[in-house]
Amino acid sequence: MSARVVASIICGLIFGAGLVISDMVNPARVLAFLDVAGNWDPSLAFVMGGALIPSALAYIIRGRRSAPLFDSRFYVPANASIDWKLVAGAALFGLGWGLVGLCPGPAIAALSTGRWEAVLFVAAMLVGMSAYRFSLGRRLPNYNFR
């Protein structure tokens, strides 16, 4: 197994553990954060704020390096425009997140809890991804990276 794969697995495990420890795999906690007019729970804001620290550090490090440790170059999308696909995707993501309190990362991490809701969400997510791939996605986008 390559160092790149091992690094990816370790990063994924750290990310998933952080989601479980912060209880962001609990849809009720996320929905309580979104309920600003009711019993609002600000804990998700603290988790997001805490995530800005390593993200900011990564951007600083990226600016000082010519390539990452385990690859020949950084993969940064060249397209910075906001189009209807981006807006529609963000709206669908937000709708799903607001309806059930899960998004893909926490849903996958929530599988470790054995909750049926997480299993159902991930199954539905995989069905949706497959439906896209076999219908609209026959022409997969060409991602241009700088």
63-114, pLDDT tens digit by residue?
899 998 888 888 888 878 898 888 998 998 899 888 889 988 899 988 988 8
Give the integer Cα–Cα distance in Å for 108 and 86: 23
Say if residue 3's pLDDT is above 90.
Answer: no
Helix, strand or coil for residue 101? Answer: coil
| Res 140: pLDDT | 59
Strand intervals (E) in 12-111: none
**What rounded mean pLDDT belongs to the chain?**
87
Residues with Cβ < 8 Å from 115, sequence gap 6 or more?
none
| Res 96: pLDDT | 85
Over residues 24-52, mean pLDDT: 91
What distances in angstroms separate CA 47 from CA 19, 120, 122, one per listed residue? 9, 25, 22
Cα-based angle 60, 66, 67 (whole degrees, multiple of 5) = 95
Give the integer Cα–Cα distance in Å for 8 and 13: 9
Residues with Cβ < 8 Å from 119, sequence gap 6 or more?
111
pTM of the model: 0.74
Say if residue 27's pLDDT is above 80.
Answer: yes
Closest to 102 measured CA to CA, from 54, 39, 34: 34
Give the integer Cα–Cα distance in Å for 46 and 97: 18
